[in-house]
Amino acid sequence: MSEKLKIVVVGTGAWGNAIAKLLYKKFQLQENRIFLLARSKDRLQNIIKKIGHDTGFCSILTADNRILEDADAVILAIPTIYLKHTADKLRHLIADKPILNTSKGIEKGFYFAHDILAESIAMPFERFCQLSGPNFAQEVSIFLPTASVVASKNERLAIFFQEILSCESFRVYRSGDPLGLELAGALKNIYAIASGVSDGLQLGNNSRAAILTRALAEIRRIGNLFNVKQETLLGLSGVGDLFLTSTSRLSRNYRVGLALAKEEQIDLGEAIAEGVWSVKSLVIFAESHDLYIPIAKTVYQLIYEGEKPYEAAMNLMHRPLKREDS
């Protein structure tokens, strides 16, 4: 990319830091400038205490929102539960900017990120772009080979972010199905919790394989309701992300499942594992649309209704017999 850009990454969590580091390495010998925006001065000071003023992964680390004023591209790396607050606060600075969202979750009312941005900054769906794929921030930040997908109804916008992000360690594909990416990215967090419960109970490899395969059936069932592309659900942002998140301790959602298997209390006031929040929205939505999602509903019961993990697993095994394709 020959054009010189000012790129602002909003959010200094693991994912925001990883993306900033990736871009800084790619563009550090060019005139492109990579800025990392913290949500508050307190957050900024905490980061500086940990790593010092010389970050080594961005041009400038700041908490001054004015850095967005002349940005050429904005990358939102904010957990979905905080996205509305952030978008409302930055509305006048980002409303006319190319925006890439990177969070994966469903908010109350079955709101996706594009719904939140449409409400907060009047962003039309055609200006929305989503990043998703089997991507652990920890591995991206040390430049291990990774593949991901950017999706937008606007092909030029998808190409724009594809070219910005693609580098020797981060291969980016593009898609015209942003809702499919959002849906798959949010739902896989729920099923990663189920997989963690299975592994925490030491139910074996067969059990995990069954859970992930039937989880995909539930995801496709939900996807049909939204008319998303089956290729999306079977691609990097669907199956790829589901398998990654559901099989590694690097996944916060998988670790929530391990904790539930031990009947440990999940602190709902602090949980950033987005499956914890998304499952509540999903179950409410499913009940109003007559959707059959037994695994997701079991995750909900474990988190919010105090269901015992082994009993929950056995209840799934003892459901009425049915055709696999139904």
pLDDT at 271: 59
128-132 and 146-151 as β-strands: parallel, antiparallel, unpaired? antiparallel
Say what the pLDDT of residue 33 is. 86
Six-digit token string for 73: 């591209």
Given the structure tokens 């607050």, which residue do they identify? 85
pLDDT of residue 55: 58
The pLDDT, as a whole number, for residue 31 is 67
Among 188, 194, 201, 187, which Cα is nearest to 298's?
Answer: 194
Confidence (pLDDT) at 114: 96
Q: Read off the pLDDT of residues 258-316 as tens digits, 9 standing for 90 and up.
A: 999 999 988 776 557 899 999 999 999 999 999 999 999 999 999 999 999 999 999 99
In 95-108, which positions are buried (b, 16+ CB within 10 angstroms) versus exposed (e)?
A: eebbbbbbbbbbbe
Which residues partner with 36 through β-bridges? 9, 61
Q: How far apart are CA 86 and CA 97, in angstroms?
A: 15
Give the residue range(s) of CATH 1.10.1040.10 domains in the chain: 180-317
pLDDT value, residue 2:
52
Are 99 and 160 in contact by the 8 Å Cβ rule? The answer is: no
pLDDT exceeds 60 at position 75: yes
Q: Answer yes or no: is pLDDT of 1 > 60.
A: no
pLDDT of residue 54: 54
With beta carbons less than 8 A apart as the criterion, state whether 122 and 145 touch: no
Largest pairwise CA distance in the chain:
63
For residue 53, what pLDDT band results from cuts at 50, 70 and 90?
A: low
pLDDT for 29 equals 65
Residue 146 scores a pLDDT above 80: yes
Q: SS3 for the chain, per residue?
A: CCCCCEEEEECCCHHHHHHHHHHHHHHCCCCCEEEEECCCHHHHHHHHHHHCCCCCCCCEEECCHHHHCCCCEEEECCCHHHHHHHHHHHHHHHCCCCEEECCCCCECCCECHHHHHHHHHCCCHHHEEEEECCCCHHHHCCCCCEEEEEECCCHHHHHHHHHHHCECCEEEEEECCHHHHHHHHHHHHHHHHHHHHHHHCCCCHHHHHHHHHHHHHHHHHHHHHCCCCHHHHCCHHHHHHHHHHCCCCCCHHHHHHHHHHCCCCCCCCCCCCHHHHHHHHHHHHHHHHCCCCHHHHHHHHHHHCCCCHHHHHHHHHCCCCCCCCC
Please report, rounded to a whole number, the percentage of residues in the chain having pLDDT higher than 90: 82
Q: Are 139 and 121 a contacting pair, CB within 8 Å?
A: no
- The CATH homologous superfamily of the domain defined by 180-317: N-(1-d-carboxylethyl)-l-norvaline Dehydrogenase; domain 2 (1.10.1040.10)
Residue with the larger pLDDT of the pair 317 and 56: 317
6-175: CATH topology: Rossmann fold (3.40.50)
Distance CA 291, CA 289 (A): 6
Compute CA 262 distance to the chain's CA centroid, rounded to the nearest angstrom.
26
Mean pLDDT over the full length of the chain: 93
Whether 188 is catalytic is: yes
Report the 10 Å Cβ neighbour count for 9.
28
pLDDT confidence of residue 270? 53
Q: Which residues contact 92 (CB under 8 A, 6 or more apart)?
A: none
Average pLDDT over residues 59-84: 92
Provide CATH 3.40.50.720 ranges for the chain.
Answer: 6-175
Arithmetic mean of pLDDT, 56-82? 90
Q: How far apart are CA 244 and CA 62, in angstroms?
A: 32
Q: Pick the catalytic residue from 6, 21, 104, 188.
A: 188
Q: Which residue has the higher pLDDT, 60 or 8?
A: 8
Quick: pLDDT tens for 13-50: 889 999 999 999 998 767 668 999 998 888 888 877 77
